């Protein structure tokens, strides 16, 4: 018999409040003052060449052996390194090329670079940067977590913090103190090939998850041995291209920019994030790297950002070659630096250095602007501790990719996976079931990881570790080879052995069809159609003819449309890009060793031309316009069930200087322990700017035992109902509001 117990959980709304300071602590004024004093001394000693050099960032390829620096095995070319560091005084080097080398190799590389920097006149250390967006990308054997979209799907801020923590440690163990992560672009354009680098469509979910991740990476003091400096990107509006293709124009007016796209950046800056990367594309016809308003007026002046703005890859030269807003490469450099870009990811030559030097000598760029940029860059070098400790800490290697990190990775992957359909409780499967495993993602680690894995595109399957299981191998491990038949059925976009897969389905108890996307990153991931490839949908239709229960497992970075086969599937598991432990985590869920608790961080569309976000306007909710996704934002099933009751508000009014507490009971009415994400939505009924029909205000993930009831409380203030008003500033208007939790709702009056 189930016992009934009641636990109370106070989910202070600090969990998700747009625009408030994050829990990571910004650097104290006193520390900043001391650092600035040291910088004053340095700046007085620096030549203009040394200053312009600090603003120059090149790729490691430029200082490595081989004509394109890509010779394998990788090695630094000492002559090229001296040219970069001693002749051009480069301030930073970044990694994109060498892949999968051991920690020791990276320590050696960073040591060589810092040795060279020591030989320079002023001995200023070089800042080494990397795109470790789901773990230490380019270091062999690192802990590679679910991609950010999966971290958002956990709705678990503690896990997100842990991911930041482990990532920081493993890149510092590789000698690297700076991470081009997190990506704070909102995922409100599902075609966009970088959707999976985002935390989904909701502003407050993105803030809550990135807040925790940044806190884990940066800690109280980013100069601590296992902490790093994050770089938030791509500021701002990059993720909302009108046509869905990467690096194509967005049209976002000031109100929309401030309502949706700026708040995650503002929150990160207020938490002390020291670097920001500019938008690689354009908004309203203004390239991100020429946007004085966003880079200087908003970021630096309005928010008081003290760190530096890095350009994205070749994006200063792109102002001339691609965007045609600068008539010459030199004008492009002037434009970007005067707009507020402090460092140029040039990254393949020294053109930026040469041109900027000329511009300063011609007084086309004032020295004061150069001094400002260099001060910002040196500040970050002090903050991250490389003036005092430029060399990698060898002792961290023993904490790199430990079994504990791997186990934690598996936990994160399990909590991200989202169960979207489960007719007649088909899942979990019995461990004595005979299964057919089929589909193009069944036996590929690259489809579980996606881009920024070992290589930029993440698609070189041969480079993946041999000791990590694909979905197929993890299923074989879980139930034994004898019960598993594997027929790929199709490649991603062409039939292979469909007939043989259907024949195998006839003798199986259940079909596990693993569909999705091959690994891609950035522009190469552009698509013309959000619909999943016809070959994969046809495979499911053919398999259905065997009349055996079908489980779809989707390994994909964006919601590829599957409407044609949703009715043919009995169960659907969305794995996103679950990382190196993804195979294990999927098998854990399929066979009941873990209970799913992931929730969708985006609306999963049903039709190609019905792409509507969950926080749509009333006009999008009426009649034929109705929000009708395949699966709504926040959705996700469990192997147990939860019942919501007794939603109550502490008051019927919310005074301007007061607060209101919403309390609800959530009971586990099933027979298995499970985790539920209690989601609090709100709306204002009438206001000057048409209100969204609902917006996520707060959430709390809670573990509940069978029969147990928990009481969850959220406290809101009027600030939670502010919005960007007619004058493009945040305002609060009085009026009737509603709160929703599960199927329940209650109203109150905002005074
Ligand atoms: C991407 C950035 C990345 C940079 C360095 C660019 O192509 O847009 O997100 O940080 O490359 O690798």
CB-based contacts of 107: which residues, under 8 Å, 6+ apart? 174, 175, 392, 394, 397
**pLDDT score recorded for residue 626:** 86
Closest atom of ligand 1 to 456 CA is 12
The closest alpha carbon to 202, from 21, 414, 447, 15, belongs to 15
Closest atom of ligand 1 to 233 CA is 9
3-class SS at 747? strand
Tell the residue nearest (CA) to atom 2 of ligand 1.
Answer: 312
**pLDDT score recorded for residue 206:** 98
The closest alpha carbon to 529, from 615, 616, 611, belongs to 611
What long-range pairs does 618-627 form, CB within 8 A, spacing at least 24? 618/690, 618/691, 618/693, 619/690, 620/693, 621/693, 627/603, 627/693
**pLDDT score recorded for residue 9:** 62
Positive/negative CA dihedral, 48, 52, 55, 56: negative
Closest atom of ligand 1 to 180 CA is 10
Tell me how far the alpha carbon of residue 283 lies from the centroid of ligand 1, in angstroms.
18
3-class SS at 56? strand
pLDDT surpasses 80 at 300: yes
- CA distance linking residue 717 with residue 722, whole number of Å: 10
Q: What pLDDT band is residue 20 in, cutting at 50, 70 and 90?
A: very low
Tell me how far the alpha carbon of residue 496 lies from the centroid of ligand 1, in angstroms.
36
Q: Which of 96, 137, 180, 241 to mutate to test the pocket of ligand 1 (most atoms within 8 A of CB)?
A: 180
**pLDDT score recorded for residue 96:** 84
Average pLDDT, integer, range 561-569: 98
Ligand 1 pocket, residues with Cβ under 6 angstroms: 94, 96, 131, 180, 233, 280, 312-313, 522
Q: What pLDDT band is residue 7 in, cutting at 50, 70 and 90?
A: low
State pLDDT tens for residues 404-457: 999 999 999 999 999 999 999 999 999 999 999 999 999 999 999 999 999 999
Tell me how far the alpha carbon of residue 304 lies from the centroid of ligand 1, in angstroms.
25
**pLDDT score recorded for residue 99:** 84
Tell me how far the alpha carbon of residue 234 lies from the centroid of ligand 1, in angstroms.
9
State pLDDT tens for residues 631-659: 999 999 999 999 999 999 999 999 999 99
Tell the residue nearest (CA) to atom 8 of ligand 1.
Answer: 312
Tell me how far the alpha carbon of residue 130 lies from the centroid of ligand 1, in angstroms.
9
State pLDDT tens for residues 41-73: 999 999 999 999 999 999 999 999 999 999 999
Closest atom of ligand 1 to 96 CA is 12
Tell me how far the alpha carbon of residue 151 lies from the centroid of ligand 1, in angstroms.
20
> What's the chain's average pLDDT?
95
CB-based contacts of 33: which residues, under 8 Å, 6+ apart? none
343 close to 373: Cβ distance less than 8 angstroms: yes
- CA distance linking residue 183 with residue 206, whole number of Å: 10
Q: What pLDDT band is residue 328 in, cutting at 50, 70 and 90?
A: very high
Tell me how far the alpha carbon of residue 418 lies from the centroid of ligand 1, in angstroms.
29
Residue ranges matching CATH 2.60.40.10 in the chain: 642-750
**pLDDT score recorded for residue 3:** 36
Average pLDDT, integer, range 285-301: 98
The closest alpha carbon to 186, from 696, 620, 718, 715, belongs to 696
Tell me how far the alpha carbon of residue 75 lies from the centroid of ligand 1, in angstroms.
22
Check 185, 312, 570, 635 and give the catalytic one. 312
State pLDDT tens for residues 347-398: 999 999 999 999 999 999 999 999 999 999 999 999 999 999 999 999 999 9
Average pLDDT, integer, range 600-626: 92
Closest atom of ligand 1 to 280 CA is 8
**pLDDT score recorded for residue 6:** 56
Residue ranges matching CATH 3.20.20.300 in the chain: 24-389
Q: Confirm whether 722 is a catalytic residue.
A: no
Q: Which of 312, 450, 456 to mutate to test the pocket of ligand 1 (most atoms within 8 A of CB)?
A: 312
Q: Which CATH superfamily is domain 642-750 in?
A: Immunoglobulins (2.60.40.10)
State pLDDT tens for residues 264-277: 999 999 999 999 99
Tell the residue nearest (CA) to atom 11 of ligand 1.
Answer: 313
Q: Which CATH architecture has domain 24-389?
A: Alpha-Beta Barrel (3.20)
Tell the residue nearest (CA) to atom 5 of ligand 1.
Answer: 313
State pLDDT tens for residues 660-697: 999 999 999 999 999 999 999 999 999 999 999 999 99
Q: Which of 96, 131, 196 to mutate to test the pocket of ligand 1 (most atoms within 8 A of CB)?
A: 131
The closest alpha carbon to 199, from 142, 244, 157, belongs to 157
- Total length of the chain: 751
Average pLDDT, integer, range 182-188: 98
Tell me how far the alpha carbon of residue 312 lies from the centroid of ligand 1, in angstroms.
6
Q: What pLDDT band is residue 625 in, cutting at 50, 70 and 90?
A: confident
Average pLDDT, integer, range 274-302: 98
576 close to 146: Cβ distance less than 8 angstroms: yes
Q: What pLDDT band is residue 97 in, cutting at 50, 70 and 90?
A: confident
State pLDDT tens for residues 219-232: 999 999 999 999 99
pLDDT surpasses 80 at 26: no
pTM, to two decimals: 0.97
Tell the residue nearest (CA) to atom 7 of ligand 1.
Answer: 313
Q: Which of 313, 457, 458, 523 to mutate to test the pocket of ligand 1 (most atoms within 8 A of CB)?
A: 313
Closest atom of ligand 1 to 183 CA is 9
The closest alpha carbon to 239, from 299, 203, 273, 190, belongs to 190
pLDDT surpasses 50 at 262: yes
406-625: CATH topology is: Rossmann fold (3.40.50)
pLDDT surpasses 50 at 596: yes
Closest atom of ligand 1 to 231 CA is 10
């Amino acid at each position: 018999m189930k016992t009934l117990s009641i636990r109370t959980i106070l989910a202070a709304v600090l969990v998700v409040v747009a625009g408030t300071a994050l829990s990571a602590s910004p650097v104290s004024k006193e520390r900043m003052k001391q650092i600035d004093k040291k910088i004053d001394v340095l700046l007085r000693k620096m030549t203009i060449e040394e200053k312009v050099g600090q603003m120059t960032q090149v790729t490691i390829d430029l200082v490595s052996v081989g004509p394109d620096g890509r010779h394998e095995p990788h090695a630094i070319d000492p002559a090229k390194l001296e040219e970069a560091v001693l002749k051009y005084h480069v301030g930073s080097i970044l990694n994109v090329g060498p892949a999968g080398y051991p920690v020791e190799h990276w320590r050696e590389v960073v040591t060589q670079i810092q040795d060279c920097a020591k030989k320079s006149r002023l001995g200023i250390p070089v800042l080494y940067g990397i795109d470790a967006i789901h773990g230490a990308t380019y270091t062999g054997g690192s802990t590679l977590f679910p991609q950010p979209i999966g971290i958002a799907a956990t709705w678990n801020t503690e896990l997100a913090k842990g991911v930041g923590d482990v990532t920081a440690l493993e890149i510092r163990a590789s000698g690297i103190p700076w991470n081009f992560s997190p990506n704070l672009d909102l995922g409100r354009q599902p075609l966009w090939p970088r959707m999976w680098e985002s935390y989904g469509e909701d502003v407050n979910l993105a803030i809550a998850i990135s807040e925790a991740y940044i806190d884990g990476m940066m800690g109280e003091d980013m100069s601590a041995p296992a902490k790093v400096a994050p770089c938030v990107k791509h500021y701002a509006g990059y993720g909302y291209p009108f046509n869905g293709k990467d690096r194509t124009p967005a049209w976002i007016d000031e109100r929309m920019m401030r309502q949706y796209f700026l708040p995650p950046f503002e929150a990160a800056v207020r938490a002390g994030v020291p670097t920001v990367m500019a938008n690689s594309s354009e908004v309203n016809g203004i390239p991100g790297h020429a946007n004085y308003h966003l880079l200087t007026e908003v970021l630096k002046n309005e928010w008081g950002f003290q760190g530096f703005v890095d350009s994205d890859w070749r994006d200063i030269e792109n102002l001339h070659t691609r965007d045609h807003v600068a008539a010459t490469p030199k004008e492009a450099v002037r434009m970007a630096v005067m707009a507020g870009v402090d460092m140029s990811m040039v990254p393949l030559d020294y053109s930026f250095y040469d041109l900027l030097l000329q511009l300063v000598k011609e007084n086309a760029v004032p020295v004061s602007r150069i001094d400002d940029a260099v001060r910002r860059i040196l500040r970050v070098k002090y903050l991250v501790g490389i003036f005092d400790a430029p060399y990698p800490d060898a002792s961290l290697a023993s904490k790199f990719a430990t079994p504990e990190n791997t186990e934690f990775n598996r936990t994160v992957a399990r909590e991200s996976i989202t169960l979207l359909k489960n007719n007649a409780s088909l899942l979990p499967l019995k461990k004595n079931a005979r299964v057919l495993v089929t589909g193009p993602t069944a036996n590929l680690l690259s489809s579980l990881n996606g881009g920024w894995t070992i290589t930029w595109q993440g698609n070189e399957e041969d480079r993946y570790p041999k000791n990590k299981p694909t979905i197929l191998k993890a299923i074989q491990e879980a139930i034994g080879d004898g019960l598993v038949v594997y027929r790929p059925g199709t490649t991603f976009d062409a039939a292979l052995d469909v007939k043989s897969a259907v024949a195998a389905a006839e003798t199986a108890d259940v079909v596990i069809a693993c569909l999705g996307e091959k690994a891609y990153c950035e522009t190469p991931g552009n698509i013309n159609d959000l619909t999943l490839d016809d070959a994969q949908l046809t495979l499911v239709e053919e398999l259905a003819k065997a009349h055996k229960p079908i489980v779809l497992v989707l390994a994909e970075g964006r919601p590829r449309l599957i409407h044609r086969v949703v009715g043919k599937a009995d169960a659907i598991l969305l794995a996103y890009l679950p990382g190196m432990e993804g195979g294990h985590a999927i098998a854990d869920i399929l066979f009941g060793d873990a209970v799913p608790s992931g929730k969708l961080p985006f609306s999963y569309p049903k039709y190609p031309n019905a792409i509507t976000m969950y926080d749509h306007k009333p006009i999008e909710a009426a009649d034929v316009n109705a929000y009708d996704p395949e699966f709504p934002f926040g959705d996700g099933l469990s192997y147990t069930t939860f019942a919501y009751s007794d939603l109550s508000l502490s008051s019927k009014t919310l005074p301007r200087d007061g607060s209101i507490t919403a309390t609800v009971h959530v009971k586990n009415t099933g027979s298995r322990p499970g985790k539920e994400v209690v989601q609090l939505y709100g709306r204002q009924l009438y206001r000057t700017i048409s209100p969204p029909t609902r917006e996520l205000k707060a959430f709390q993930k809670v573990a509940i035992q069978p029969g147990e009831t928990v009481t969850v409380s959220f406290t809101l203030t009027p600030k939670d109902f502010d919005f960007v008003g007619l004058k493009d500033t945040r305002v609060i208007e009085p009026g009737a509001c509603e709160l929703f939790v599960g199927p329940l709702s209650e109203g109150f009056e905002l005074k």
